Amino acid sequence: MMPYPVGLLKNRSVVKHGEWAVIAPEGRVINCMPGFADCKLTILATPKMGASFIQFIGTVGAEGKTTLKYGSKAHEESFIYILDGEGELKITVGGESKVYGQGGYAYATAGTGIEFENANGKECRILLYKQRYVPHPDGRAPFNVFGNTNDIDWVDYDGMSNVHLKDLLPVNEAFDMNMHILSFDPDGCHPFVETHVQEHGAYLYEGEGLYMMGEDWIHVKAEDFMWFGPFTKQAVYATGRGPLTYIYSKDCNRDVEI
């Protein structure tokens, strides 16, 4: 049960439909969705806000599992990431299964879908993502991917020693998307204000900062979700005493249809 509020109701979320959004944790609700058992899931991004993808965050309980494949429609590619918690999940993609704890992830090609079930009876939090797959014009195709972020080395972002990057999917033109983790040391920032056609969905799980979203500077902190629509001006200054770190999606490697 939820407690009665102390003082005035408040919420830091800002949603500018079709442009950008910051979804703070205090306003999120649990959504009832088919295909999951013993899972508490919240929808963070959908086309209803202007995003071209769908993203969830949620808790997988002791008996949590999928009862239907997630992202199994012919045009859907999907991704799962174990954000935190002590739970371990058996993740199955295309008939192959692996057990992962925090940092584990999997990508499923279009129409393949993702299945999971709790493997140790302890809770964990996950991010789920899916988007419409855009085929490569020469026919090359992506492949299913399993991995763990803890096994990936940091690299400097754009040659800056205080900003660090991990690519979770192959940097390969066959893939029309990627997932990255970007981390800024205290006082770190982007090298310039970005303005690009790609969309991002970013879950900030460590630190705090000032983020430029369009024409506004927004104070963001751990547990905020951010959506950046195409050509939204964006950049961040890390302002906390520790790193500012988030996992984010990006559409890439495709021409724009007219």
- For the domain that residue 102 is a member of, what is the CATH number? 2.60.120.10
129 within some domain: yes
Note the pLDDT of residue 199: 96
4 within some domain: no
CB-based contact 141:93 (threshold 8 Å): no
Note the pLDDT of residue 12: 94
Tokens describing residue 149: 């972020």
Based on the number of CB atoms within 10 Å of its own CB, is 57 exposed (0-12), middle (13-18) or buried (19 or more)? buried
What is the number of domains present in the chain?
Answer: 1
1 within some domain: no
256 within some domain: no
Tokens describing residue 162: 């205080």
Instruction: Give the chain's residues under pLDDT 70.
Output: none
CB-based contact 226:201 (threshold 8 Å): yes
85 within some domain: yes
pTM of the model: 0.96
Tokens describing residue 239: 């302002």
194 within some domain: yes
Alpha carbon distance 130, 144 (integer Å): 14
- The closest of 213, 188, 184, 209 to 200, measured between CA atoms, is 213
Kindly give the pairing relationship between strand 244-251 and strand 200-206.
antiparallel
What range does the domain containing 193 cover?
A: 12-249
The SS3 of residue 45 is strand
257 within some domain: no
Note the pLDDT of residue 28: 94
In a 13 Å sphere around the CA of 160, the CA atoms on its Cβ side amount to 16
Note the pLDDT of residue 4: 84
Note the pLDDT of residue 6: 85
Sheet holding 244-251, edge to edge: 14-16, 20-23, 225-228, 200-206, 244-251, 177-184, 160-167, 155-157
70 within some domain: yes
